[in-house]
Amino acid sequence: MNELLSNIRSCDICKEFLNPNPVVFANESSKIIIIGQAPGTKVHKSGIPWDDASGKQLKRWMGVTNEQFYNTNNFAIIPMGFCYPGKGKTGDLPPRKECAPQWHHQLLTKMQNVELVILIGMYAQNYYLKNSTKKTLTETVDNFQEYLPKYFVLPHPSPRNRFWLTKNPWFEKEVLPIFKNKIQKILL
């Protein structure tokens, strides 16, 4: 596993498109895998996954401390794109498509203690759930129970999603308590 993580962290398959700085946290004992989109600019600079406002929100949703979150016995953090993809017209560009096919399977086969895979956002959900996603991310998240016990689907916890959260109050009232409870049971 250490060799694989080292290979990922030194990956430069997309160097012609961006400045590679792959971010990944995992070990063979990880119980929960978080698969999000790609690092933002702050995480790209720090090299620490979810070290931004989105990460603070995600940790609140889970009810975990920084110490719990960054303990790779608890959480593996494997984004769809390991590097910051660059800026687009309305936000960050989508994760690079090379990363997940190149590295995810290799990582997942080394982790035998996984009890839950958290799929954050449309890119992760489409990649892992394939044809079982609904027409929209909102519908997929609203039907989260269909993907349990293996997967828990979430919207991105970005502050930019505050309008989505306001428009869908059922998420915080109905989904988050179940999500937090599941996380806490696994971490016991």
Q: Please give the CATH architecture assigned to the domain spanning 2-187.
A: 3-Layer(aba) Sandwich (3.40)
Q: Which of 86, 84, 91 is nearest to 158 (CA)?
A: 91
Q: What is the pTM of this model?
A: 0.96
pLDDT in tens, the chain (188 residues): 999 999 999 999 988 877 899 999 999 999 999 999 999 989 999 999 999 999 999 999 999 999 999 999 999 999 999 999 988 888 889 999 999 999 999 999 999 999 999 999 999 999 999 999 999 999 999 999 999 999 999 999 999 899 999 999 999 999 999 999 999 999 98
Please list, in sequence order, all residues whose beta carbon lies within 8 angstroms of the beta carbon of residue 73, skipping any fewer than 6 positions away: 27, 29, 30, 31
